[in-house]
Amino acid sequence: MLDTKVTELLNQQVNKEFYSAYLYLDFSNFCYEEGLDGFGNWYRVQAQEERDHAMLFVQYLLNNGEKVALETIEKPAVVPENAKMVLAEGLKHERYVTGLIHNIYDAAHSVKDFRTMQFLDWFVKEQGEEETNAEGLVKKYELFGDDPKSLYMLDNELGARVYSAPSLVL
Quick one: 50 or 113, whose CB is closer to ligand FEO?
Answer: 50
Nearer to ligand FEO, 87 or 151 (CB): 87
- 3-class secondary structure, 167: coil
The distance of closest approach from Cβ of residue 123 to ligand FEO in the complex, given in angstroms and rounded to an integer, is 7
- Give yes or no for a contact between 43 and 24, defined as CB atoms under 8 angstroms apart: yes
Closest CA to 60 of 21, 137, 116, 144: 116
The distance of closest approach from Cβ of residue 152 to ligand FEO in the complex, given in angstroms and rounded to an integer, is 27
Instruction: Tell me the one-letter amino acid at 155.
Output: D
DSSP 30: H
Q: What is the smallest separation between the CB atom of 84 and ligand FEO, expressed in angstroms?
A: 19
Instruction: Specify the residue, 2 or 97, whose C-beta has the smaller distance to ligand FEO.
Output: 97
Question: With respect to ligand FEO, which residue has the nearer C-beta, 55 or 117?
Answer: 55
- Contact footprint for ligand FEO (CB under 6 A): 17, 20, 50, 53, 94, 97, 130
CB of 100 to ligand FEO, least distance (A): 9
What is the Cα–Cα distance from 96 to 79, expressed in whole angstroms?
Answer: 18
Minimum CB–partner distance for residue 153 and ligand FEO (Å): 25
Which backbone phi and psi does 138 adopt, to 5 degrees? -60, -45
Name the residue nearer to ligand FEO (CB basis): 93 or 113.
93
Q: Give the number of C-alpha atoms closer than 13 A to the C-alpha of residue 29, restricted to the C-beta side.
A: 9
d(CA 5, CA 32): 40
